[in-house]
Structure 1
Amino acid sequence: MTNKERRDRELPYITDEDVFEEQKKARRLTQALNTADRSDFDAIGKIVKELLGKSDGAFINPPFYCDYGFNIEVGKNFFANYNCMILDVAKVVIGDNCQMAPNVAIYTAGHPVHPDTRNTAYEYGIKVTIGDNVWIGGNTVICPGVHIGSNTVIGAGSVVTKDIPDWVIAAGNPCKVIREITDADRKFYFRDREFDEEAWAHVLELQK
């Protein structure tokens, strides 16, 4: 097998010239994105559309960094805030209506633990999946092979090393479930602060 074939099968591989060649398009596009006029939202949106393997209404606040782009598949209404980094050696599949705060990092890439094998230049990529309606807090790191369930919130500063289920708030290093999200949470926008009547009426209208 070629190193590209090994990489795509989540087997150990070495980054050779063919692998570097596949990274060139993403590097050109991320450079264009990261140097674009920050007020030209249409231009930014077009670059994001070309960069990502699959997207529908995605928007990324630059700067943004990735290895390939074509390995990132996001659903409808994806938003990533400033300084997001996705090392997409393997697939990163993200559902609809997902939001990422600043400085979120998703790593599919990794290296052997033992220095003898690590120093051979072999590395690997293991798929990361994120469900629908997920909010990832700022400065969160998501490690290779992780699955985050739908309707979940990951607290700021988390390091996600293991799967997180649907409908929970999880946080910490390592990231752990804190509690479930229930219907009682619907009327609150921050901790114990409820939506005011005007905003709540608008929320109900938007959900029709």
Structure 2
Amino acid sequence: MTELEKMIAGELYNAGDVELVAARSKARQLFTQYNAASYDDKETKTAMLKQLLGNFKGNIDIQSPFYCDYGFNITAGDNLFLNFNCIILDCARVTFGDNVFLAPNVQLYTAYHPLIAAERIKGPEYAAPITIGDNVWLGGGVIVCPGVTIGDNTTIGAGSVVTKDIPANVVAVGNPCRVIRSL
């Protein structure tokens, strides 16, 4: 099994693997070009996103700067909006539903490391997918941790750190993020 296959499968993998380093380098070249392109040049920006991202259905608007690890693990439904300075560490799949809005400085982290220091300092890491349902809004500065699913029609308040799944049709806030009311 290759390191890429291990990464996608959620197994311990070596991020320093030549294939993975090359894939991250390609993504960095693409998002650097994307970030440098004129805001008004939608045709160029869309073409770059088609090269960078795994798949997206329709309308997508990502404000620069935008950063990701690989890009190919990011998929989106229709009408995705990512505001300034969004960071997605997509070592595992990151899936956005339809009508998803991310405020500035949102960070999605699929990567994580062994808890035991002796294992962690050797360098290998894990990844767990993030799934964001339809009609979700993540407020400014939200951090979503590995393995989290956020249900449809949910709002996550600014500055929240989402460490566990959040159900559909709720408002959730805080660190750690918790449901404060149903919608």
Q: Which residue of 1 aligns with 2:65?
A: 63
Normalising by structure 2, what TM-score?
Answer: 0.95
Deviation at 1:31, TM superposition (A): 0.6
Give yes or no for the alignment of 1:44 onto 2:62: no
Tell which deviates more after alignment, 145-154 or 33-42: 33-42
* Matches of 1:83 and 1:14, distance apart in 2: 27
| Unpaired runs of at least 5, structure 2 | none
List aligned pairs for 1:73-88, cutoff 5 A.
Answer: 73-88=75-90
Q: Which residue of 2 aligns with 1:17?
A: 18
* Matches of 1:53 and 1:79, distance apart in 2: 16
| Unpaired runs of at least 5, structure 1 | 182-208
Q: Which residue of 2 aligns with 1:90?
A: 92
Which residue type is aligned with residue 59 of structure 1?
D
Q: Which residue of 2 aligns with 1:105?
A: 107
- CA deviation vs aligned residue, 1:141-167 (integer Å, no higher than 9, x gap): 000000000000000000000000000
- CA deviation vs aligned residue, 1:158-190 (integer Å, no higher than 9, x gap): 000000000000010000001011xxxxxxxxx
- CA deviation vs aligned residue, 1:87-115 (integer Å, no higher than 9, x gap): 00000011001000000000000111121
CA contact (8 A) 1:49 1:58 kept: no
Between the aligned residues of both structures, percent identity stands at: 50
In the alignment of these two chains, the number of paired residues is 181
Partner SS state of residue 11, structure 1: coil
Q: Which residue of 1 aligns with 2:126?
A: 124
Which residue type is aligned with residue 13 of structure 2?
Y
Normalising by structure 1, what TM-score?
Answer: 0.84
Deviation at 1:63, TM superposition (A): 0.3
Q: Which residue of 2 aligns with 1:2?
A: 2
Which residue type is aligned with residue 55 of structure 2?
K
* Matches of 2:48 and 2:59, distance apart in 1: 12
Which residue type is aligned with residue 8 of structure 1?
I
